[in-house]
Amino acid sequence: MFQFQHFKDLGEEGLSLGLREGIGRSFAELNKDPCYQLGGAQRLRAMTKFSRVDGAWKRLEDQSFYQSAGINRYNGGVQRTFNPIDETCVPESFLFSLAQRQSRLFGIEEGDWQLNVHQIRIQTTCGSEAEGLSTPEGIHRDGHDFIAMMLWKRTNVRGAASRIYDLDLNLLEERTLEHRGEGVLLNDRQCMHAVTPFYPEDPSDVATRDVFILDWNQRNA
């Protein structure tokens, strides 16, 4: 139903310094999400969609993203459009490598799938004790078949524990993603999730939490 994993090769062993620096820079250059209206905290994000048909990956041009109001109490019911992920800093080869390994862990190496890759930074405002909310919608499903949330980096963050629940809202596991490449993979039809609020460890500085979220949906299912 869910599994915590640590993809250690997202760190120094697996990624060149240039790639790590480029990906880190791209998080800082993400656009602010106007749909995230919380005093003292911001969400910055980009998204790119891909298809995998007969084993071949293809980038899709569509930049729209929709979740129903029933699924997303905070931003559901509206069509949102995000800028694409900067592929010069976050190359497709990196994303496909990550996706292929997730695909094996989910047991979905066969069949045709759509993959939405979200690159998201939640940050608090410098000098505040503002609460950073990674999941302002509370305990929720995302409305996909499978999802994976992978930590890229957390800086000056206290809190932000990942929680997994069954469909009756019983807490199944809580674990804090601390290191690059740590993530949780889950069947989004069988369980729910949330991330607890976070705060700046040092209140005189910003707190940032950078993640990649991958949504998997079977095509023509």
Residue 86 or residue 142: which is nearer to Fe ion going by CB?
142
Dihedral angle, C-alpha 76, 151, 186, 53, nearest 10 °? 80
| Residue 135 CB, nearest approach to Fe ion (Å) | 6
Q: Compute the distance between CA of residue 109 and CA of residue 52 in angstroms, rounded to an integer.
A: 10
Min. distance of Cβ 5 from Fe ion in angstroms? 17
Nearer to Fe ion (CB atom), residue 15 or residue 72? 72
Nearer to Fe ion, 89 or 192 (CB): 192
What's the closest the beta carbon of residue 99 comes to Fe ion, in angstroms? 18
Tell me if 44 sits within 8 A of 120, measured CB to CB: yes
CB-wise, 36 or 57, nearer to Fe ion? 36
CB 27 within 8 A of CB 153: yes
Sites of contact with Fe ion (CB under 5 A): 142
Distance CA 25, CA 65 (A): 24
**Minimum CB–partner distance for residue 173 and Fe ion (Å):** 16
Question: Residues 23, 27, 31, 36: is their CA dihedral positive or negative?
Answer: positive
